[in-house]
């Protein structure tokens, strides 16, 4: 390959990689944790409510209980997300008519309902940690964050492809080569290359699917304008989407029995209940029922059907027998992205690969720092900035996430703004950490303290679990719900890992200082040097 | 690096949109399959154009490369659009 071509690509690879590294770390760290968001959600909920055992209420009964004593806006929607093995609760979204003096513009309520007793356990967002982490993954929980993450993903895909070009000649020859006796920079580069090569199929898949999720709007607009002459609705129809807007007839009709009949037909045809049920104009003659799900036991077999509730007429139907390539393809991509097509073991592999990419990101930044430190003309300020940014945007995010877990556990249910307090704990911890990372010159010592502090926060979270909710946790375990214990085991493993890494860093530092001959001056110069220096 | 980045983002995006539109006219497949193929190929095309831009000697060089290809592709777009 042309030397100039590779030189330009290497410059762009390191420049772009450095710019996106902070946000990309958040994407992969939060994405890896989000693989277990059902378990984290249950870890939040179960200590407050264990689902009752017995026969599950029908969808129409849940609908009735959900809209009872509420200003339900029947002209809008009533949506049910069915209970599953992962989340054994109904999630219900009820559109409401806002009072004239309402101080909010949120025109729906989201309810977590026990599928057996019909009891309203809480508002869905009262337990916001899992959703918060997931949203950080794809939109940073900020307006238009999805587009920012989309462009970060675009540059990530560029970094992957340019990395392939840069490393092409050694891609297979040095596939398993891991040099440990080389200099610091070569060790870091080897780590960067080995992880990059081994995770390549996974990272390519993640980058392309992530781009499709976050930036497809660009092509959607272009296609609608040029191919469909501005008719976006026609494009959506061809792409397998359906949008229902039935006209309100103002003729009351009780169609609860039809809802249960249609759901029973769905179960008979596809082997499991629909994942989502959405009623339009519920209680009126014009009411429709929209069911979305898939066929049991298949890798990808999307089902989407819409029925009129007064006469059962089919208004829209996509089934495995009448597939839409776009719908099927989109679900294949999301299934691959979320890794939910097999069991826990696959998600653990995804977790390891995701964490591998986090190491890839950090090692990339450290390679940049090492390279700059070896150059005579390098600016100490830019090296200090990159060191602070790398530490702040990685360890800071990890510590802030641990803090969010702790707050999710100790904040009382029913407290006003519980979700906001949990988010504030994350933002405040991260902000404070970024500031400290900028101010503290001894990055190695700060890393050591941060690892130990994070381990202590996680340990406190586990202790708080048992001190505050030991009876409920035992009840949940006896009822067969293992999510709380599973998350606790995950947190405990993280504690052990962090303490081990912290002391390994500490011992390595001590032996390096000893080898180089300790003196206060030498120690001070080490403190002012980069994160990687020893 | 910034001039190359602008060329890579905007030039690359326009190239991928334009080429995908042409493919959509040309591919002898059902409309839903064409849309999905477009979805899958659009971003790799964009990345291909980005690689081309970043491998250029300067921002101006990158824009010239993008512009040449874009003109040809837009020519075909116009042809298909009015045919």
Please tell me whether residues A188 and A73 are part of one structural domain.
no
Q: Answer whether A238 sits within 8 Å of B17, measured CB to CB.
A: no
Q: How far apart are CA A256 and CA A277, in angstroms?
A: 13
Which of B33, B31, B53, B51 lies closest to B41, judged by CA? Answer: B33
Name every chain B residue with its beta carbon within 8 A of the beta carbon of A215. Answer: 43
Name every chain A residue with its beta carbon within 8 A of the beta carbon of B40. Answer: 208, 212, 329
Q: How far apart are CA A437 and CA A20, in angstroms?
A: 18
Query: Mean of the pLDDT values across residues A263-289?
Result: 94
Whether the complex's predicted ipTM surpasses the cut of 0.85 = yes
The pLDDT of residue B1 is 83
Q: Give the model's confidence band at B54: pLDDT under 50 very low, under 70 low, under 90 confident, else very high.
A: very high
Tell me the CA distances in angstroms from A214 to A137, A154, A518, B53, one per residue in order: 11, 10, 52, 23
Cβ neighbours for A48, distance < 8 A, ≥ 6 positions apart: A121, A122, A413, A469, A472
Q: Answer whether B30 sits within 8 Å of A325, measured CB to CB.
A: yes
Residue A8 has its nearest CB partner, among B36, B43, B55, at B55
- Residue A1 in this model has a pLDDT that exceeds 70: no
Name every chain B residue with its beta carbon within 8 A of the beta carbon of A326. Answer: 32-33, 35-36, 39
Instruction: Using an 8 Å CB-CB cutoff, list residues of chain B that contact chain A.
Output: 1, 4-5, 8-9, 13, 17, 20-21, 24, 30-33, 35-36, 38-40, 42-44, 46-47, 50-51, 54-57, 77, 81
Please tell me whether residues A364 and A265 are part of one structural domain.
no
Q: Answer whether A324 sits within 8 Å of B32, measured CB to CB.
A: yes
Residue A219 has its nearest CB partner, among B8, B38, B55, at B38
Burial category of A409 from C-beta neighbours within 10 Å (exposed 0-12, middle 13-18, buried 19 and up): buried
Residue B13 has its nearest CB partner, among A162, A218, A223, at A218
The pLDDT of residue A524 is 41
Q: Give the model's confidence band at A284: pLDDT under 50 very low, under 70 low, under 90 confident, else very high.
A: very high
Q: Answer whether B24 sits within 8 Å of A165, measured CB to CB.
A: no
Structure tokens at A247: 């006209």
Please tell me whether residues A175 and A260 are part of one structural domain.
no
Position of tokens 């003309």? Answer: A377
Q: Tell which of A323, A354, A387 closes a domain.
A: A323
Residue A208 has its nearest CB partner, among B21, B43, B81, at B43
Position of tokens 């029947």? Answer: A74
Mean pLDDT of chain A: 88
The one-character DSSP state at A282 is: T
pLDDT, one tens digit per residue, over A154-168 is 999 999 999 998 887
The pLDDT of residue A529 is 43
Top-confidence residue, A85 or A286: A286
- Residue A283 in this model has a pLDDT that exceeds 70: yes
Q: Answer whether B43 sits within 8 Å of A218, measured CB to CB.
A: no
The pLDDT of residue A338 is 92
Q: Which residue of B has its CA nearest to A213?
A: B39
Name every chain A residue with its beta carbon within 8 A of the beta carbon of B22. Answer: none
pLDDT, one tens digit per residue, over A96-151 is 998 888 778 888 999 999 999 999 998 898 899 999 999 999 999 999 999 999 99
Break chain B into its structural domains and give their ranges: 2-82
Percentage of residues in chain A with pLDDT exceeding 70? 92
Does A335 reside within a domain? no
Count of residues for chain B? 83
Q: Answer whether A12 sits within 8 Å of B54, measured CB to CB.
A: yes
Residue A219 has its nearest CB partner, among B32, B39, B51, at B39
Name every chain A residue with its beta carbon within 8 A of the beta carbon of B44. Answer: 208
For residue A457, the enclosing domain spans 379-534
Query: Mean of the pLDDT values across residues A339-346?
Result: 86
Q: Which residue of A has its CA nearest to B49?
A: A158
Residue B51 has its nearest CB partner, among A11, A162, A325, at A162
Q: Give the model's confidence band at A508: pLDDT under 50 very low, under 70 low, under 90 confident, else very high.
A: confident
Backbone angles phi, psi at A157, to 5 degrees: -65, -40
Which pairs with CB-CB distance under 8 Å and at least 24 residues apart come from B47-52?
A: B47/A154, B47/A157, B47/A158, B47/A161, B47/B12, B48/B12, B49/B8, B49/B11, B49/B12, B49/B15, B49/B16, B50/A154, B50/A158, B50/B8, B50/B9, B50/B12, B51/A9, B51/A158, B51/A161, B51/A162, B51/A165
Name every chain B residue with its beta carbon within 8 A of the beta carbon of A330. Answer: 36, 39
Q: How many Å lie between the alpha carbon of B63 and the closest alpha carbon of chain A?
A: 16
Percentage of residues in chain A with pLDDT exceeding 90? 57
Q: Which residue of B has its CA nearest to A153?
A: B43
Backbone angles phi, psi at A442, to 5 degrees: -85, 85
The one-character DSSP state at B7 is: I
Q: Answer whether B39 sits within 8 Å of A329, measured CB to CB.
A: yes
Mutation for B interface: A11, A219, A221, A242, most B CBs within 10 A: A219
The pLDDT of residue A460 is 96
Q: Judge contact between A25 and A389, C-beta under 8 A.
A: no
The pLDDT of residue A99 is 82
Does A521 reside within a domain? yes
- Residue B9 in this model has a pLDDT that exceeds 90: yes
Please tell me whether residues A38 and A64 are part of one structural domain.
no
Q: Give the model's confidence band at A184: pLDDT under 50 very low, under 70 low, under 90 confident, else very high.
A: low
Q: Judge contact between A126 and A89, C-beta under 8 A.
A: no
Please tell me whether residues A491 and A475 are part of one structural domain.
yes
Please tell me whether residues A464 and A397 are part of one structural domain.
yes
The pLDDT of residue A491 is 96
The one-character DSSP state at B8 is: I
Residue A157 has its nearest CB partner, among B24, B32, B43, at B43
Name every chain A residue with its beta carbon within 8 A of the beta carbon of B73. Answer: none
Q: Per the structure, how many domains does chain A have? A: 3
pLDDT, one tens digit per residue, over A463-475 is 999 999 999 999 9
Q: Judge contact between B51 and A161, C-beta under 8 A.
A: yes
Q: Judge contact between B11 and B3, C-beta under 8 A.
A: no
Structure tokens at A402: 């641990």
Name every chain A residue with its beta carbon within 8 A of the beta carbon of B9. Answer: 151, 154
Please tell me whether residues A43 and A56 are part of one structural domain.
no
Name every chain A residue with its beta carbon within 8 A of the beta carbon of B23. Answer: none
Please tell me whether residues A384 and A247 are part of one structural domain.
no
Does A272 reside within a domain? yes
Please tell me whether residues A517 and A426 are part of one structural domain.
yes
Q: Judge contact between A209 and A154, C-beta under 8 A.
A: no
Please tell me whether residues A146 and A273 are part of one structural domain.
no
Q: Give, to the nearest 10 degrees, the angle between helix A483-516 and helix A520-528.
A: 130
Q: How far apart are CA A393 and CA A411, in angstroms?
A: 26
The pLDDT of residue A516 is 52
- Number of Cβ within 10 Å of residue B35's Cβ equals 26
Q: What is the DSSP string of A286-337?
A: T-EEEEEEE-TT-SS-EEEEEEETTT--EEEEE-TTS--HHHHHHHHHHHHH
Q: What is the dihedral of CA A205, A206, A212, A214, to 10 degrees?
A: -170
Mutation for B interface: A166, A212, A220, A223, most B CBs within 10 A: A223
Name every chain B residue with its beta carbon within 8 A of the beta carbon of A152. Answer: none
Does A56 reside within a domain? yes
The one-character DSSP state at A96 is: B
Q: What is the 3-state secondary structure (H, E, C) of B56-74?
A: CCCHHHHHHHHHHHHHHHH
- Residue A410 in this model has a pLDDT that exceeds 50: yes
Name every chain B residue with its beta carbon within 8 A of the beta carbon of A329. Answer: 36, 39-40
Mutation for A interface: B8, B32, B70, most A CBs within 10 A: B32
Query: Mean of the pLDDT values across residues A521-534?
Result: 42
Q: How far apart are CA A322 and CA A318, in angstroms?
A: 6
Mutation for A interface: B15, B25, B39, most A CBs within 10 A: B39
Q: How far apart are CA A404 and CA A491, in angstroms?
A: 13
Between A and B, how many CB-CB pairs are < 8 A?
A: 86
The pLDDT of residue A528 is 41
The one-character DSSP state at A119 is: -
The pLDDT of residue A298 is 82
């Amino acid at each position: 390959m042309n030397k100039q071509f590779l030189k330009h690509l290497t410059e762009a690879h390191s420049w772009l990689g450095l710019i996106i590294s902070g946000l990309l770390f958040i994407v992969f760290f939060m994405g890896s944790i989000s693989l277990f968001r059902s378990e984290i959600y249950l870890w939040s909920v179960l200590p407050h409510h264990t689902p009752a055992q017995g026969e599950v209420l029908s969808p129409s009964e849940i609908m009735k209980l959900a809209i009872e004593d509420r200003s339900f806006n029947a002209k809008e929607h009533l949506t049910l997300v069915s209970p599953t093995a992962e989340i054994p609760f109904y999630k219900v979204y009820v559109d409401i008519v806002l009072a004239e003096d309402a101080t909010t513009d949120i025109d729906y309520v989201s309810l977590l309902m026990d599928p057996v007793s019909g009891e309203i356990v809480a508002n869905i967002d009262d337990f916001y940690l899992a959703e918060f982490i997931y949203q950080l993954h794809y939109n940073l929980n900020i307006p238009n964050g999805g587009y920012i993450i989309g462009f970060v993903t675009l540059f990530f895909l560029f970094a992957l492809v340019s990395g392939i070009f840069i490393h092409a000649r050694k891609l297979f020859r040095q596939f398993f080569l891991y040099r440990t006796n080389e200099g610091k920079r070569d060790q870091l580069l080897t780590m960067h290359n080995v992880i990059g090569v081994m995770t390549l199929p996974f990272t390519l898949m993640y980058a392309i699917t992530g781009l499709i999720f976050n930036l497809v709007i660009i092509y959607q607009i272009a296609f609608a304008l040029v191919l469909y002459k501005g008719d976006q609705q026609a494009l959506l129809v061809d792409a397998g989407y359906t949008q229902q807007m039935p006209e309100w007839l103002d003729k009351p009709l009780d169609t609860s029995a039809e809802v249960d009949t249609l759901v029973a037909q769905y179960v008979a045809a596809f082997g499991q209940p629909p994942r989502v049920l959405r009623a339009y104009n519920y209680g009126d003659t014009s009411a429709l029922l929209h069911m979305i799900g898939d066929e049991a036991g298949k890798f990808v077999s999307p089902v989407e059907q819409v029925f009129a509730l007064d006469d059962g007429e089919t208004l829209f139907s996509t089934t495995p027998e009448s597939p839409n390539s776009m719908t099927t393809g989109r679900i294949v991509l999301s299934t691959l992205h979320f890794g939910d097509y097999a069991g826990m073991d696959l998600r653990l592999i995804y977790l390891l690969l995701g964490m591998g990419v986090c190491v890839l990101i950090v090692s990339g930044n450290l390679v940049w720092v090492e390279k700059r430190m070896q150059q005579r003309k390098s600016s100490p300020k830019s090296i200090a900035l990159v060191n602070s940014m790398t530490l702040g945007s990685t360890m800071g995010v990890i510590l802030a996430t641990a803090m969010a877990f702790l707050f999710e556990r100790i904040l009382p249910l029913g407290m006003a703004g519980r979700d906001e307090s949990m988010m504030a704990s994350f933002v405040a911890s991260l902000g404070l950490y970024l500031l400290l990372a900028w101010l503290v010159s001894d990055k190695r010592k700060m890393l050591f303290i941060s690892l130990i502090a994070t381990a202590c926060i996680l340990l406190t979270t586990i202790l708080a679990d048992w001190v505050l909710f030991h009876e409920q946790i035992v009840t949940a375990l006896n009822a067969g719900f293992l999510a709380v214990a599973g998350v606790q085991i995950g947190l405990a493993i993280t504690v052990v890992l962090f303490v081990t890494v912290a002391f390994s860093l500490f011992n390595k530092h001590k032996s390096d200082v000893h080898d180089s001959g300790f003196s206060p001056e030498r120690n001070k110069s080490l403190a002012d040097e980069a994160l990687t220096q020893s | 690096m910034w001039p190359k980045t602008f060329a890579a983002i905007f030039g690359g995006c326009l190239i991928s949109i334009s080429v995908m539109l042409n493919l959509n006219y040309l591919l002898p497949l059902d409309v839903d399959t064409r849309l999905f193929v477009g979805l899958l190929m659009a971003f790799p095309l964009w990345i291909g154009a980005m690689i081309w831009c970043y491998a250029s000697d300067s921002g101006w060089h990158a824009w010239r490369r993008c512009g040449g290809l874009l003109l040809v592709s837009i020519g075909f777009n116009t042809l298909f659009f009015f045919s």
